[in-house]
Structure 1
Amino acid sequence: MLSVRLICVGKLGEKFWAEAVKEYTKRLAAYCKLEIIELPEQRLPQTPSQGEIDQALDKEAALIEARIPQGAAVIALCVEGRPLSSEQLADYLGKLTVSGTSRLCLLIGGSCGMAERVKQRAALRLSMSPMTFPHHLARVMVLEQLYRALNIAAGGKYHK
């Protein structure tokens, strides 16, 4: 069974986000072993300088890198990434598993993004959209799309 680690910078705030994550975690149990790791987002002043942002991203990068499993295929969620349809994501994940990859690690950065050195470790930079979403919603969207892709790959009827 595929082992998936979702590393997120920042905590879920409102209860409704946590409920949505719980629902997709339950659904994904049929397709993969899912682990969600929340890392603390670095605090920044109201109007941070670029140097302060870079320093925060560097600290977050160290926390992320320490939790990427050895031998995992890494997917970094970032706005400059490649957009894929649900079918294309299912195909990508299918090719990973056929090639012998049993571990997947998805990365969601904090409100200032993700350090370039972390994105460089990714086999795929994936964009959900050119639009900006709250990180709480991005987490739910990633889990839903992962569920959809794995359901597609299994020949399920969730995707219409």
Structure 2
Amino acid sequence: MNIKFVVVGKLKEKYFKQGIAEYAKRLSRFCKFSIVEVPDEKAPESMSQAEMDQVMAAEGERILSKIKDREYVYALAILGKERSSEEFAKEIKDLTTYGHSDITFVIGGSLGLTPAVLKRANTQISFGRFTLPHQLMRLVLTEQVYRAFMINEGSPYHK
């Protein structure tokens, strides 16, 4: 099984890198885990809607170029469906049972994801209505994917 994150921007903070590295190491017994970073579009502080759309479109094209046809795609979106950890674990288990061995999670840049990326996604997932920095979201998502495998294994980690 392959789990891939396609994310906009580089991770600069050492403490996020360390946390993700720890969960990536733990995930290695369950799957091949990778993170693909696409460059974020340089943008001024205040932008018109047209400029924002242009930035999102450029980032969206970069994201889509990293997704293959066979991949099952989760787009992280505030308006996506919220799930409990148990529901998420069951979903991952069901996907692998029914032949989806390549699962990709997409985390957009600061402006979010374009309609084209959301359309390509098989489903949208939300971690609530909070706005979180995408660097932190990477760490949270990595932990939740690890938690899903632990739940499916019946491990006490989840308690």
TM-score category (smaller protein): over 0.9
- Give runs of ≥4 in structure 1 deviating > 4 Å: none
CA RMSD for the aligned pairs?
Answer: 0.8
SS of structure 1 residue aligned to 2:96: helix
Q: Which runs of 5+ in 1 are unaligned?
A: none
1:106 aligns to what? Answer: 105
Give the Cα separation in 1 of the matches to 2:69 and 2:30: 21
2:68 aligns to what? Answer: 69
Letter in 1 for 2:41: Q
1:81-117 deviations in Å (ceiling 9; x for gaps): 0000000000111110111111001000000001011
TM-score (norm 1): 0.97
Give the Cα separation in 2 of the matches to 1:49 and 1:27: 43
Give the Cα separation in 2 of the matches to 1:122 and 1:153: 24
Aligned counterparts, 1:10-25, within 5 A: 10-25=9-24
Q: How many angstroms does 1:70 deviate by?
A: 2.8
TM-score (norm 2): 0.97
Identity across matched positions, percent: 38
Letter in 2 for 1:99: Y
CA contact (8 A) 1:69 1:105 kept: no
Q: Is structure 2 residue 31 aligned with structure 1 residue 38?
A: no
SS of structure 2 residue aligned to 1:140: helix
1:153 aligns to what? Answer: 152
Q: How many angstroms does 1:131 deviate by?
A: 0.4
Give the Cα separation in 1 of the matches to 2:48 and 2:90: 41
